[in-house]
Amino acid sequence: MCAVVKPNPYNMNHNTDTIVLSYNESLLRQSDVDILKGPFWLNDTIISFFFEYLETYVFKNNTALSFVSPEVTQCIKISQQQELCVFLEPLLSNAKKDFIFFALNDHEKIDMSGGSHWSLLVFSRPEKRIFHYDSSSGINELQAFKFGQKILKYFALPVQEKIDNVLCLQQNNGYDCGMHVLCNAENLASFAVCNGKIKGWDCPKLNNETISAKRLEILDIIEKLRVKEPVDHFKQRE
Protein backbone atom coordinates (compact mmCIF):
# COMPACT_ATOMS: atom_id res chain seq x y z
CA MET A 1 0.00 0.00 0.00
CA CYS A 2 1.21 3.48 -0.81
CA ALA A 3 1.85 5.69 2.19
CA VAL A 4 4.00 8.58 3.28
CA VAL A 5 7.00 6.65 4.51
CA LYS A 6 8.93 9.76 5.55
CA PRO A 7 7.65 13.13 6.71
CA ASN A 8 8.65 16.07 4.58
CA PRO A 9 11.19 18.01 6.68
CA TYR A 10 10.71 21.10 4.52
CA ASN A 11 7.18 21.90 5.66
CA MET A 12 6.95 25.57 6.61
CA ASN A 13 4.22 28.06 7.26
CA HIS A 14 3.40 30.51 4.48
CA ASN A 15 5.13 33.39 6.27
CA THR A 16 8.54 31.78 5.69
CA ASP A 17 7.74 29.46 2.76
CA THR A 18 9.11 31.33 -0.26
CA ILE A 19 7.17 31.39 -3.52
CA VAL A 20 9.27 29.72 -6.21
CA LEU A 21 6.97 29.88 -9.23
CA SER A 22 3.63 31.35 -10.21
CA TYR A 23 2.45 29.48 -13.31
CA ASN A 24 -1.05 30.25 -14.59
CA GLU A 25 -3.31 29.00 -11.78
CA SER A 26 -0.52 27.19 -9.91
CA LEU A 27 1.56 28.66 -7.11
CA LEU A 28 4.58 26.62 -6.04
CA ARG A 29 6.33 27.32 -2.76
CA GLN A 30 9.73 26.08 -1.65
CA SER A 31 8.18 23.32 0.47
CA ASP A 32 6.32 22.02 -2.59
CA VAL A 33 9.48 21.98 -4.70
CA ASP A 34 11.45 20.26 -1.94
CA ILE A 35 8.99 17.36 -2.01
CA LEU A 36 10.44 16.51 -5.41
CA LYS A 37 13.96 16.32 -3.97
CA GLY A 38 13.33 13.44 -1.62
CA PRO A 39 11.38 10.23 -1.22
CA PHE A 40 8.13 12.00 -0.41
CA TRP A 41 4.50 11.48 -1.37
CA LEU A 42 3.36 14.13 -3.89
CA ASN A 43 0.87 16.70 -2.67
CA ASP A 44 -2.08 18.24 -4.54
CA THR A 45 -0.03 21.29 -5.50
CA ILE A 46 2.66 19.40 -7.43
CA ILE A 47 0.11 17.25 -9.25
CA SER A 48 -2.02 20.30 -10.09
CA PHE A 49 1.03 22.12 -11.42
CA PHE A 50 2.14 19.27 -13.67
CA PHE A 51 -1.39 18.68 -14.96
CA GLU A 52 -1.62 22.37 -15.79
CA TYR A 53 1.79 22.24 -17.47
CA LEU A 54 0.65 19.31 -19.61
CA GLU A 55 -2.54 21.08 -20.67
CA THR A 56 -1.14 24.57 -21.27
CA TYR A 57 2.30 23.72 -22.64
CA VAL A 58 2.94 20.12 -23.67
CA PHE A 59 -0.50 19.58 -25.22
CA LYS A 60 -1.54 23.20 -25.71
CA ASN A 61 -2.53 22.56 -29.34
CA ASN A 62 -4.75 19.61 -28.44
CA THR A 63 -8.00 20.98 -27.10
CA ALA A 64 -9.51 17.49 -26.85
CA LEU A 65 -7.50 16.87 -23.67
CA SER A 66 -8.41 18.07 -20.19
CA PHE A 67 -6.39 17.54 -17.01
CA VAL A 68 -8.49 18.07 -13.90
CA SER A 69 -6.78 19.25 -10.72
CA PRO A 70 -6.91 17.02 -7.62
CA GLU A 71 -8.88 19.73 -5.80
CA VAL A 72 -11.67 19.69 -8.40
CA THR A 73 -11.56 15.89 -8.57
CA GLN A 74 -12.08 15.72 -4.81
CA CYS A 75 -15.04 18.11 -5.06
CA ILE A 76 -16.59 15.91 -7.74
CA LYS A 77 -16.00 12.82 -5.63
CA ILE A 78 -17.80 14.13 -2.55
CA SER A 79 -20.61 15.92 -4.41
CA GLN A 80 -24.04 14.64 -5.31
CA GLN A 81 -24.65 13.59 -8.92
CA GLN A 82 -26.88 16.61 -9.63
CA GLU A 83 -24.09 18.96 -8.51
CA LEU A 84 -21.40 17.74 -10.92
CA CYS A 85 -22.25 20.35 -13.54
CA VAL A 86 -20.90 23.03 -11.21
CA PHE A 87 -17.41 21.53 -11.51
CA LEU A 88 -17.44 19.94 -14.96
CA GLU A 89 -19.21 22.53 -17.11
CA PRO A 90 -16.49 25.20 -16.70
CA LEU A 91 -13.88 22.64 -17.78
CA LEU A 92 -15.83 21.50 -20.82
CA SER A 93 -17.40 24.74 -22.03
CA ASN A 94 -14.62 25.97 -24.33
CA ALA A 95 -14.15 22.88 -26.47
CA LYS A 96 -15.24 19.28 -26.81
CA LYS A 97 -13.07 17.20 -24.51
CA ASP A 98 -12.55 13.65 -25.69
CA PHE A 99 -10.11 12.61 -22.97
CA ILE A 100 -10.37 13.81 -19.37
CA PHE A 101 -7.67 12.95 -16.82
CA PHE A 102 -8.33 12.82 -13.07
CA ALA A 103 -5.84 12.30 -10.23
CA LEU A 104 -7.84 10.24 -7.75
CA ASN A 105 -7.10 10.26 -4.02
CA ASP A 106 -8.32 7.68 -1.49
CA HIS A 107 -9.29 10.41 0.99
CA GLU A 108 -12.96 10.28 2.00
CA LYS A 109 -13.43 13.04 4.57
CA ILE A 110 -15.07 16.28 3.48
CA ASP A 111 -13.89 18.64 6.21
CA MET A 112 -10.13 18.04 6.07
CA SER A 113 -7.33 17.23 3.64
CA GLY A 114 -5.47 13.94 3.64
CA GLY A 115 -5.17 10.61 1.89
CA SER A 116 -2.40 8.09 1.35
CA HIS A 117 -2.67 6.97 -2.27
CA TRP A 118 -3.02 8.44 -5.76
CA SER A 119 -4.22 6.71 -8.92
CA LEU A 120 -5.14 7.91 -12.41
CA LEU A 121 -8.61 7.76 -13.90
CA VAL A 122 -9.22 8.65 -17.56
CA PHE A 123 -12.57 9.21 -19.25
CA SER A 124 -12.51 8.47 -22.99
CA ARG A 125 -15.47 9.93 -24.85
CA PRO A 126 -14.69 8.11 -28.15
CA GLU A 127 -14.55 4.76 -26.36
CA LYS A 128 -17.35 5.64 -23.92
CA ARG A 129 -15.33 4.11 -21.11
CA ILE A 130 -13.43 4.85 -17.94
CA PHE A 131 -9.85 3.59 -17.60
CA HIS A 132 -8.23 3.31 -14.18
CA TYR A 133 -4.47 3.00 -13.62
CA ASP A 134 -3.42 2.09 -10.08
CA SER A 135 0.28 1.60 -9.28
CA SER A 136 -0.74 -0.35 -6.16
CA SER A 137 -3.40 -2.51 -7.74
CA GLY A 138 -6.68 -2.70 -5.87
CA ILE A 139 -6.09 0.10 -3.37
CA ASN A 140 -8.26 2.65 -5.18
CA GLU A 141 -10.51 0.22 -7.03
CA LEU A 142 -13.66 1.09 -5.08
CA GLN A 143 -12.87 4.81 -5.28
CA ALA A 144 -12.43 4.52 -9.04
CA PHE A 145 -15.67 2.57 -9.49
CA LYS A 146 -17.76 5.13 -7.59
CA PHE A 147 -16.08 8.08 -9.28
CA GLY A 148 -16.27 6.48 -12.72
CA GLN A 149 -19.98 5.85 -12.31
CA LYS A 150 -20.53 9.55 -11.62
CA ILE A 151 -18.63 10.61 -14.72
CA LEU A 152 -20.38 8.13 -17.01
CA LYS A 153 -23.78 9.18 -15.70
CA TYR A 154 -22.90 12.84 -16.20
CA PHE A 155 -22.28 12.13 -19.89
CA ALA A 156 -25.48 10.04 -20.05
CA LEU A 157 -23.54 6.86 -20.79
CA PRO A 158 -24.26 3.33 -19.55
CA VAL A 159 -22.31 2.28 -16.47
CA GLN A 160 -22.44 -1.50 -16.74
CA GLU A 161 -18.99 -2.96 -17.54
CA LYS A 162 -17.65 0.40 -18.69
CA ILE A 163 -14.94 0.86 -16.05
CA ASP A 164 -11.64 -0.90 -16.76
CA ASN A 165 -8.94 -1.45 -14.15
CA VAL A 166 -5.96 -1.55 -16.48
CA LEU A 167 -2.85 -3.59 -15.72
CA CYS A 168 0.03 -1.14 -15.33
CA LEU A 169 3.49 -0.80 -13.85
CA GLN A 170 3.41 -1.29 -10.07
CA GLN A 171 5.36 0.94 -7.73
CA ASN A 172 8.35 -0.54 -5.93
CA ASN A 173 8.26 1.78 -2.92
CA GLY A 174 5.76 3.42 -0.59
CA TYR A 175 5.77 6.98 -1.92
CA ASP A 176 5.82 7.12 -5.74
CA CYS A 177 2.10 6.67 -6.46
CA GLY A 178 1.87 10.33 -7.49
CA MET A 179 4.81 9.99 -9.87
CA HIS A 180 3.08 7.03 -11.50
CA VAL A 181 -0.03 9.19 -11.97
CA LEU A 182 1.96 11.95 -13.69
CA CYS A 183 3.93 9.57 -15.91
CA ASN A 184 0.84 7.58 -16.87
CA ALA A 185 -1.09 10.76 -17.64
CA GLU A 186 1.60 12.13 -19.95
CA ASN A 187 2.14 8.76 -21.63
CA LEU A 188 -1.56 8.09 -22.22
CA ALA A 189 -2.23 11.64 -23.41
CA SER A 190 0.50 11.28 -26.04
CA PHE A 191 -0.99 7.98 -27.16
CA ALA A 192 -4.53 9.42 -27.26
CA VAL A 193 -3.43 12.38 -29.38
CA CYS A 194 -1.86 10.07 -31.97
CA ASN A 195 -4.45 7.28 -31.93
CA GLY A 196 -7.74 8.82 -30.82
CA LYS A 197 -8.15 6.25 -28.06
CA ILE A 198 -6.77 5.15 -24.70
CA LYS A 199 -7.01 1.38 -24.95
CA GLY A 200 -4.54 -0.46 -27.14
CA TRP A 201 -1.91 -3.18 -27.00
CA ASP A 202 0.45 -0.80 -28.78
CA CYS A 203 0.30 1.86 -26.06
CA PRO A 204 3.91 2.30 -24.80
CA LYS A 205 4.44 0.93 -21.30
CA LEU A 206 6.13 2.76 -18.46
CA ASN A 207 9.28 1.46 -16.83
CA ASN A 208 10.90 2.11 -13.46
CA GLU A 209 13.62 4.24 -15.04
CA THR A 210 11.00 6.69 -16.34
CA ILE A 211 9.39 6.94 -12.91
CA SER A 212 12.75 7.47 -11.18
CA ALA A 213 13.79 10.21 -13.60
CA LYS A 214 10.52 12.15 -13.40
CA ARG A 215 11.28 14.03 -10.18
CA LEU A 216 14.45 15.56 -11.61
CA GLU A 217 12.64 16.28 -14.87
CA ILE A 218 9.90 18.22 -13.09
CA LEU A 219 12.48 20.11 -11.02
CA ASP A 220 14.18 21.09 -14.28
CA ILE A 221 10.84 22.22 -15.76
CA ILE A 222 10.16 24.38 -12.70
CA GLU A 223 13.60 25.98 -12.90
CA LYS A 224 13.24 26.76 -16.61
CA LEU A 225 9.79 28.26 -16.08
CA ARG A 226 11.09 30.24 -13.12
CA VAL A 227 13.86 31.80 -15.19
CA LYS A 228 11.49 32.54 -18.04
CA GLU A 229 8.72 33.82 -15.75
CA PRO A 230 10.14 35.36 -12.53
CA VAL A 231 8.09 35.16 -9.35
CA ASP A 232 5.90 38.17 -8.65
CA HIS A 233 7.47 39.44 -5.42
CA PHE A 234 4.40 41.50 -4.60
CA LYS A 235 2.44 38.25 -4.30
CA GLN A 236 5.24 36.79 -2.22
CA ARG A 237 4.64 39.37 0.47
CA GLU A 238 0.98 38.36 0.85
Query: Does the active-site annotation cover 2?
Result: no
* Known active-site residue 176: no
Burial of 80 from C-beta contacts in 10 A (0-12 / 13-18 / 19+): exposed
Active site residue: 34, 134, 164, 176, which one? 134
117 is catalytic: yes
How distant, in Å, are the alpha carbons of 42, 165, 178, 180, 216 from that of 174? 11, 21, 11, 12, 19
Say which of 117, 164, 168, 176 is annotated catalytic.
117
Given the residues 32, 164, 168, 177, the one annotated as active site: 177
**Distance (Å, rounded) from C-alpha 155 to C-alpha 105?**
22
Question: Considering only CA atoms, which of 113, 166, 110, 137 is closest in space to residue 4?
Answer: 113
- Closest by Cα among 174, 43, 182 to 114: 43
Residues serving a catalytic function are: 117, 134, 177
